[in-house]
């Protein structure tokens, strides 16, 4: 891995823990706001959060720059093009819809939460899972509502697990974990490597979000014609545990309330060689690109997804060539796996922490628009 001196941490967590009083204030504030959101027509909080997010895009230069750069890549247009700006504004509106759904979702009965994705969308998953030697790793992007698939899968009795950051606000994490367990979804702290390995070695399912933003210590991939990186976590875990990777897109249906889950082609990672990890991560990137290209207005990853300079892109291309030429399997130590997972948290705790961030002037977790 690159940047070995970097402190091991989740990619978008608060760098310093807050006081106990602040943590309790966040939890209380979140509970109050979530209760209100769950008991008023969803159009009202969605409108308010959308307008607030769009105003922040207009008034905050870094937010605007990051979002415009991302959608310029996706649309193949200059960052200053008005179509890029409109796409970014639409994404902030979709983000607001997502925040409201995340706050309302825990108040739904398990059968209602499971019904957000039709059962027929998941019929293809079971034979893929049964054919895996290890577990099944879902890779998803911030498209539509990636959390909707978890209760739908768990409703079938399948062992469903997700990762979340418990290090910034432990009490908020405990609340989210309790809410998810009502659906049969198990939330694992991202640093608990023993349990993550155990889940996959027991042939269970694990969900990972992958579009947290560009990090120079990720695995080089090409997306929308340009070099960037994606986290090493999915490919590293799959190689270590002989698990199968299944990229999935969760897109909002025309009714605005339910979702379509589209599984892409599942695959195994033959070994831990740099070439195999590179190839596997590129396949994940190809699926993510296809998912975003189909509904760019439903994609709301607001961290910069590509490097800022051509020099960084050229360095990634060189590193990819080096990895492609290296076919000797490497030993995946716990430290290496931990470093890979540092950029591969799930949204389950972070997604609702977004809602707390929308309600309180503190940064409580991913994925907050940056």
3-state secondary structure 77-108: CCCCCHHHHHHHHHHHHHHHHHHHHHHHHHHC
- Whether cis (ω within 30° of 0) applies to the bond prior to 120 is no
Residues 278-332 have pLDDT tens digits of: 999 999 999 999 999 999 999 998 889 999 999 999 999 999 999 999 877 766 6
What pLDDT, on the 0 to 100 scale, is given for residue 346?
Answer: 37
Tokens of 179: 């809410």
Give the residue among 362, 22, 348 at the shortest CA–CA distance from 190.
Answer: 348
What pLDDT, on the 0 to 100 scale, is given for residue 335?
Answer: 56
Going residue by residue through the chain, which has 370 residues, state the pLDDT in tens, using 9 for 90 and above: 444 433 333 344 444 555 677 777 877 888 888 889 988 998 999 999 999 989 989 998 988 999 999 999 999 999 999 999 999 999 999 999 998 988 888 888 888 888 889 878 889 999 999 999 999 999 999 999 888 888 888 888 999 998 877 666 777 788 888 878 887 888 888 778 889 999 999 999 999 999 989 998 899 999 999 999 999 999 999 999 999 999 999 999 988 889 999 999 999 999 999 999 999 999 999 999 999 999 999 999 888 999 999 999 999 999 999 999 987 776 666 555 655 665 554 333 343 344 334 333 322 233 344 3
- Burial level of 225, CB count in 10 A (0-12/13-18/19+)? exposed
What pLDDT, on the 0 to 100 scale, is given for residue 366?
Answer: 34
Distance in angstroms (rounded) separating the CA atoms of residues 46 and 203: 39
Tokens of 220: 């080089």
Indicate the pTM of the whole model: 0.84
Distance in angstroms (rounded) separating the CA atoms of residues 349 and 150: 13
What pLDDT, on the 0 to 100 scale, is given for residue 329?
Answer: 73
Residue 205: beta bridge partners?
136, 160
Give the residue among 8, 359, 323 at the shortest CA–CA distance from 172.
Answer: 359
Distance in angstroms (rounded) separating the CA atoms of residues 96 and 54: 9
Residue with tokens 């990186």: 229
Distance in angstroms (rounded) separating the CA atoms of residues 140 and 231: 12
Tokens of 42: 């969803």
Distance in angstroms (rounded) separating the CA atoms of residues 104 and 350: 15
What pLDDT, on the 0 to 100 scale, is given for residue 304?
Answer: 93
């Amino acid at each position: 891995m690159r940047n070995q001196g970097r402190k091991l941490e989740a990619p978008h967590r608060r760098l310093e823990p807050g006081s106990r009083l602040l943590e309790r204030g966040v939890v209380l504030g979140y509970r109050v706001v979530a209760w209100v959101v769950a008991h008023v027509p969803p159009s009202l909080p969605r409108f308010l959060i959308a307008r607030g997010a769009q105003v922040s895009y207009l008034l905050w230069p870094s937010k605007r720059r990051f979002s415009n750069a991302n959608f310029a890549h996706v649309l193949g247009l200059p960052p200053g093009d008005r179509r890029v700006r409109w796409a970014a504004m639409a994404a902030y509106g979709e983000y607001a819809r997502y925040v409201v759904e995340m706050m309302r979702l825990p108040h739904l009965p398990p059968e209602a939460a499971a019904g957000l994705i039709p059962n027929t969308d998941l019929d293809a998953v079971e034979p893929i899972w049964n054919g895996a030697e290890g577990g099944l790793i879902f890779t998803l992007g911030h498209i539509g509502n990636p959390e909707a698939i978890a209760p739908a899968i768990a409703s079938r009795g399948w062992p469903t697990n997700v990762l979340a950051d418990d290090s910034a606000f432990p009490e908020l994490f405990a609340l989210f974990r309790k809410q998810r367990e009502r659906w049969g979804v198990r939330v694992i702290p991202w640093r608990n490597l023993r349990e993550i390995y155990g889940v996959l070695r027991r042939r269970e399912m694990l969900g990972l979000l992958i579009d947290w933003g560009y990090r120079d210590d990720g695995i080089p991939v090409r997306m929308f014609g340009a070099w960037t990186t994606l986290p090493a976590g999915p490919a590293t875990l799959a190689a270590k545990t002989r698990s199968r990777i299944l990229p999935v897109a969760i897109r909002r249906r025309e009714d605005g309330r339910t979702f379509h889950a589209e599984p892409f082609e599942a695959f195994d990672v033959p070994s831990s060689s740099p070439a195999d990890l590179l190839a596997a991560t590129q396949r994940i990137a190809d699926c993510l690109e296809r998912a975003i290209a189909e509904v760019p207005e439903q994609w709301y990853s607001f961290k910069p997804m590509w490097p800022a300079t051509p020099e960084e892109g050229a360095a990634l291309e060189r590193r990819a060539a080096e990895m492609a030429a290296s076919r000797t399997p490497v030993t995946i130590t716990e430290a290496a796996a931990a470093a890979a997972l540092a950029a591969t948290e799930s949204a389950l705790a972070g997604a609702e922490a977004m809602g707390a961030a929308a309600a309180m002037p503190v940064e409580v977790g991913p994925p907050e628009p940056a």
